[in-house]
Amino acid sequence: MSETSQQTPSATTTAPAPPADLLSMTIEELKAWVAEQLGERPFRGAQLYTWLHQRGAESFDEMTDLSKAMRQKLSEQARIAPLSKDLEQRSVDGTIKYRWRTHDGRLIESVYMPAEDRKTLCVSTQVGCAMACAFCMTGTLGLKRNLTPGEIVAQVHAVNREVRRNEGHETFRPLTNLVFMGMGEPLHNFENLKKSLAILQSEEGPNFSHRHITVSTVGLVPMIERLGRETDVKLAISLNASTDEQRSRMMPVNRKWNIAALLDACRTFPMRQGRRITFEYVLLQGVNDADEDAHRLVELLKDIPAKVNLIPYNENPGLGFRSVGEERAEAFRDILAEGHVAAFVRRNRGRDIAAACGQLANREGPDAQQAAPGT
């Protein structure tokens, strides 16, 4: 063989396939993968799915009803732990903010909010966010990348484990409620969101009820329609303004889909019996907190089954907005109530650890500064 015809190993060897992301697979996909890749019977995929999504296995070694040979093949070809805990911060009010590191070194956050009657997790769907809402620290990061379905689901599994360990629960799934309001705009990562919902709601998995899952959006109108058509979860709208002029200044998305288009999408959103759409309204001093704003809000929402969450702003250094006092928030709520719009002043959770709304934003790198969620 001549020198020129000789091929180096690197020219002939193809790079090894990256490990399969099992947490991102639905049960049907996992059954097919197990059959095709491992040569196992499809029901082994169902067993594997239960280990991952119902029993919370963290390693293949735990899966004792799978053969040793299958576990060996799994450990060579697949990955089931896409996130590692990077930081945990506890608030005086019981809220815990978890920061996770992804396999490619990105940082994301989830916020656990325990209450007497529920245990809620605020879940992130993207690393950073492209929506650039002026009052939100996550928006200052820009979008780094979408989270995979597995990375979305893994936040839920990881916090279930933490709660089990911290609070001594026997059941795998102590979390009762999920809100998709963490870092990122969930509907901007629609396909991965939808798949993660399918996994989280599956009977063979964590089996969350649609009644206990809320997806929040700034108003990507075509995707609201898809969310209504293709899932059965509850909808929350991050509204934050009573005029287009105000909203476009704070939320660039409004320049594409204005308040009228957004509320039209809400009117046609399929509503199960007794459901209401939640409208989040962050109160910003001198920007959107006037009596006139409250009156306009009554007009805007009068024909929509709605509930308004008034959120006193969590001041973030450098963003230039001021919070309103409790009195102003309550006066605003009273005007809505007089106009027959159900409204609540939301108690801010985790303010002391920058885990409250609009505060989630990891700065990546060794000087990581807490700033953090959003939508």
Q: What residues line the site for ligand SF4 (CB under 6 A)?
A: 129, 131-133, 136, 138-139, 183-185, 218, 238, 374-375
Strand partners, 281: 310
Tell me the C-alpha distance between 345 and 330, whole Å: 7
DSSP structural state of residue 23: G
Tell me the C-alpha distance between 236 and 214, whole Å: 7
Q: Given phi > 0 = left and psi -120 to 50 = alpha, else beta, which region is 305?
A: beta
Is 27 or 311 the residue whose CB approaches ligand SF4 more closely? Answer: 311
Is 24 or 238 the residue whose CB approaches ligand SF4 more closely? Answer: 238
Is 34 or 178 the residue whose CB approaches ligand SF4 more closely? Answer: 178
- How far apart are CB 219 and ligand SF4 at their closest, in Å? 9
| Cβ neighbours around 350 below 10 Å, total | 27
Residue 357 is a catalytic residue = yes
Among the options 62, 225, 357, 364, which is catalytic?
Answer: 357
Residue nearest to ligand SF4 (CB): 374
- Give helix 291-301 / helix 326-338 axis angle, nearest 10°: 40
Amino acid at 100: W
Amino acid at 316: N
- How far apart are CB 313 and ligand SF4 at their closest, in Å? 12
Among the options 109, 151, 185, 280, which is catalytic?
Answer: 109
Residue 109 is a catalytic residue = yes
Is 66 or 224 the residue whose CB approaches ligand SF4 more closely? Answer: 224
- How far apart are CB 101 and ligand SF4 at their closest, in Å? 20
User: Cα–Cα distances in Å, from 261 out to 103, 132, 196, 349?
Assistant: 39, 20, 27, 31
- How far apart are CB 129 and ligand SF4 at their closest, in Å? 3
User: Which amino acids are annotated catalytic?
Assistant: 109, 357
